[in-house]
Amino acid sequence: MTSMMRILEDLTPLNRLVCSSGYDEAIDYLLRVLPFEVIEYGPEQEYNGWVIPPKWDLEAAEIRRSGKLVYDGTSHPLAVIAYSSSFEGCVDREELRAHLHYDHRDDDSIPFHFRQTYRSWNRDWGFCVPKTLYDSLEPGEYEVVIRTRESEGTLRMLELTYPGTSDETIVFGANLDHPGVANDGLAGVVVGIELFRRLAERKTKFSYKLVLSQGIVGSEYYLGKQPEALRAQLMEGVFLEMLGSDTPLGLQASREGRSNIEWAVARALEDLGIPHRAGPFESIILNDEYVWEAYGVPMASLSRFPYPEYHSSRDDVSIIKEANLAEAVDVLERAVDVLERSSLIKRRFQGNICLSNPRYDLYVDVGQVAFGDVAPEEIRRMRLLMDLVPTLDRPVTSRSLAGRGGLPESEVLGYLQKWQEKGLLEIL
């Protein structure tokens, strides 16, 4: 069995651009790790204005002065800007500097220049260099070579599904692209892989899906091109990001902050006594979550963002702690346990039922304030639960409802089972 660290060590050095030989190598590698299915979209399939870029590989890249090598653009996958156009010629220092990009946070790092990945119709040539090199360049002429190989690009992503007794599916997503870095994307990939290894032999109520794709554009094609009936089964999910660095875990809520899985992850963090941060949507990180939310799939995230090496050549395997990866897997596995021990509630009506009608007899009466009635706190909480049920537009677990209402789960289930007897709810 290939360990999480071994996968990181093997895949981090690859130039895993959106469409590239390095990305294809990563796909082929992971197909030997778990029985993924490959999903592919060709270059003719423009969607929502998103364009699949060409397959891009770097053949040669260097800067010389008077024949002496100044900079080797093949020394690191970030050393040439993503999707650089080819260029050969002599330029003076000022023109060269106009095509050099450095990290403003650290003088010795190479930054990640990714903009052209999403704008393949308007590309320039360029290098990413340490600021120390940028500052050391002397006036004069420089010989520049950037030679690339391009062909039609195919957007490829990996999907693994473990079916449960219900079609309601919990999704775990991660980014497989990002050239030459370990924590940004790839650490989430290996955490997802290890989680699904642990789930492989389990019989579950929910179905579980692991999706490994390119940042933003991969999620857009995966969701937008998926048949609506299949997409409707995607109940909610967690995006796994940057989980190996030595920084605290951060749980970011979905846009509405009401998903069952984020509640389960929060419970797991509490049960395991793991220090962490928590925040609303987009308060910790902004990544593919907003794409999933746009397709009606609530998407929380679990990450260790921010970390100082982000989007730079310092994001390598040396900053990854295996214990941090394992901690994230433990949290997610515990969250699955929480979900699986909970009943799933599905609404089977629209609008608001007259619950006081003898046909139903489900009304929770808190009395009338004008008459001096003061209902006990537990009754008031049960009334809030009664008012909440008609708004449940997605399946919800009894544990989540109990947590939101501040009620014991047994009492929540006892009340909701009466709704089920009247044909208003389905409890799985």
**What pLDDT is stored for residue 373 in this prediction?**
82
Cα–Cα distance, 340 to 264 (Å, whole number): 10
Cα–Cα distance, 182 to 61 (Å, whole number): 23
Residue % of the chain over a pLDDT of 90:
94
The answer on 163 and 139 residing in a single domain is no
Task: Give the chain's mean pLDDT.
Answer: 96
Count of structural domains within the chain: 3
The answer on 102 and 83 residing in a single domain is yes
* 3-state SS record for 330-373: HHHHHHHHHHHCCCEEEECCCCCCCCCCCCCCCCCCCCCHHHCC
User: Residues 134, 99: contact at Cβ < 8 Å?
Assistant: no
Three-state SS for 242? Answer: coil
The answer on 139 and 80 residing in a single domain is yes
The pLDDT tens digits of the residues spanning 205-226 come to 999 999 999 999 999 999 999 9
**What pLDDT is stored for residue 405 in this prediction?**
87
The answer on 267 and 243 residing in a single domain is yes
Check which CATH number belongs to the domain holding 19 and give it.
3.40.630.10
Q: How confident is the model at residue 293 (pLDDT cuts 50, 70, 90)?
A: very high
The pLDDT tens digits of the residues spanning 134-168 come to 999 999 999 999 999 999 999 999 999 999 999 99
Strands of 425-427's sheet in order across: 396-397, 344-347, 425-427
Please state the rounded mean pLDDT for residues 20-40.
98
Which of 286, 305, 340 lies at the terminal end of a domain, its last residue? 340
Whether the link from the prior residue into 163 is cis, omega within 30° of 0, is no
Which amino acid is located at 413 in the chain? L
Asked if the model's pLDDT at residue 32 lies above 90, the reply is yes
Asked if the model's pLDDT at residue 374 lies above 90, the reply is no
Check which CATH number belongs to the domain holding 83 and give it.
3.50.30.90
The pLDDT tens digits of the residues spanning 99-135 come to 999 999 999 999 999 999 999 999 999 999 999 999 9
Rounded to 5°, the CA angle 397-300-388 comes to 35
Cα–Cα distance, 59 to 80 (Å, whole number): 11
Q: How confident is the model at residue 404 (pLDDT cuts 50, 70, 90)?
A: confident
pTM over 0.75: yes
The answer on 158 and 135 residing in a single domain is no
The answer on 132 and 62 residing in a single domain is yes
The answer on 166 and 130 residing in a single domain is no
Residue % of the chain over a pLDDT of 70:
100
The answer on 189 and 75 residing in a single domain is no
Q: How confident is the model at residue 370 (pLDDT cuts 50, 70, 90)?
A: confident
Please state the rounded mean pLDDT for residues 51-74.
97
Asked if the model's pLDDT at residue 90 lies above 80, the reply is yes
The answer on 200 and 82 residing in a single domain is no
The answer on 99 and 27 residing in a single domain is no
The answer on 59 and 45 residing in a single domain is no
Please state the rounded mean pLDDT for residues 25-30.
98
Which of 340, 365, 380 lies at the terminal end of a domain, its last residue? 340
Domain carrying residue 136: 55-150
The answer on 353 and 388 residing in a single domain is yes
Which of 321, 340, 359 lies at the terminal end of a domain, its last residue? 340
